[in-house]
Each structure stands twice: as C-alpha cells, then as structure tokens.
C-alpha cells in the first residue's frame, strides 16, 4: 500500500511542468525587485508597476509577495541600498 501511494505521489509531482525562467524570477524576492526595476518606468506610477507585479505573483501563487505597497517600498529601499554597498 505504501509503495502504491509513493508511486502515485511521484507520478502526480512528475506531471507538474517546470516553471519558466520568468515565473521563477517573479517568485523570488530578489527577482521580484529586479523585475520592478525593469518595469517601473513603463507605468504612470511606481505603485502601478508594483501592483501589476503583485497581481501576476498572486495569479501564479495565490498569495501576494508583500502585504502592501509601503511594505514593498521599505524592502525595496533596503535591498537597493544593500546592493549598492560594497561587501
């Protein structure tokens, strides 16, 4: 019985297609922030660009990456400062 259950799980999980490079990027925090840098000038406001990324993230995962725009901004500014500073 255990072997059949194991085989069923392996078959179900093997049937899930791998994520595209774009989806993997959107699903990581660093990738989300990189994408924001790429798209922010394509929208009337930074908040609009952020919301578009959140909508796509939520469409794929069912969850938001950040709770709200202000939370995103704090994380973005920390990330940007850390990325610029020499380690």
Q: Is 56 part of a structural domain of the chain?
A: yes
Q: How many independent structural domains does the chain possess?
A: 1
C-beta separation of 72 from 53 below 8 A: no
pLDDT for residue 80: 86
Q: Is 12 part of a structural domain of the chain?
A: no
How many Cβ atoms are within 10 Å of 42's Cβ, its own excluded?
9
pLDDT for residue 35: 95
How sure is the predictor about 39, in pLDDT bands with cuts at 50, 70 and 90? very high
Q: Is 77 part of a structural domain of the chain?
A: yes
Q: Is 11 part of a structural domain of the chain?
A: no
- Boundaries of domain holding 52: 19-84
Q: Is the pLDDT of residue 81 over 80?
A: yes
User: Any idea what DSSP says for residue 66?
Assistant: S
Q: Is 31 part of a structural domain of the chain?
A: yes
Q: Is 53 part of a structural domain of the chain?
A: yes
C-beta separation of 75 from 65 below 8 A: no
Q: Is 8 part of a structural domain of the chain?
A: no
Q: Give pTM, 2 decimals.
A: 0.78
* Count of all residues that appear for the chain in the document: 87
Q: Is 1 part of a structural domain of the chain?
A: no
User: Any idea what DSSP says for residue 41?
Assistant: G
């Amino acid at each position: 019985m255990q072997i059949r259950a194991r085989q069923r799980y392996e078959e179900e999980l093997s049937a899930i297609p791998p994520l595209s490079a774009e989806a993997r990027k959107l699903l990581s925090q660093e990738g989300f922030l990189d994408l924001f840098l790429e798209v922010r000038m394509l929208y009337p406001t930074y908040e609009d660009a952020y919301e578009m990324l959140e909508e796509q993230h939520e469409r794929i995962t069912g969850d938001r990456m950040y709770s709200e725009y202000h939370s995103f901004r704090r994380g973005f500014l920390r990330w940007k400062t850390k990325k610029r500073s020499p380690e």
